[in-house]
Amino acid sequence: MPRRSRRGLKKQSWVTTRLANYECKVDKKRGKGSHFLIRRRDPADGRTLTYVLPHRREYGSDYINALRRHLKLRPEDGVSDEDFYGV
């Protein structure tokens, strides 16, 4: 069985640093034992948006895309891919 390509994987420190730029807070005490919670206040209406990520060393695009969708950090929400990924 071929090994999965490591290209495109993002380290946990990269994810938490990027999210800090958008006023997201990481709460490692919340979530299941193997997961941690990320919170962000919605700038439009003030609701708290949350997403749970597993404790891993690296995350693939499936986790990053779901996280951006839940926390409203997509181009439709005013955050371009270039701004988020720092390209």
pTM score of the predicted model: 0.81
Q: What is the pLDDT of residues 13-38, one digit of tens each?
A: 888 889 999 999 988 777 777 888 89
What range does the domain containing 44 cover? Answer: 25-76
Query: What is the DSSP secondary structure assignment for residue 74, as one 8-state letter?
Result: S
Residue 50 belongs to a domain: yes
- The answer to whether position 14 is within a domain reads no
User: Is 52 among the domain residues?
Assistant: yes
- Joined tokens for residue 42: 């919605």
The alpha helices in 21-78, defined as continuous H runs, are 61-70
In the predicted structure, residue 5 carries a pLDDT above the cut 80: no
Grade residue 1 by pLDDT with cuts at 50, 70 and 90: low
Q: From CA 5, how far away is CA 8, in angstroms rounded?
A: 8
For residue 57, being part of any structural domain is answered with: yes
Number of domains in the chain: 1
pLDDT, tens digit, for every residue of 24-75?
Answer: 998 877 777 788 889 999 888 999 999 988 887 788 888 899 999 999 999 9
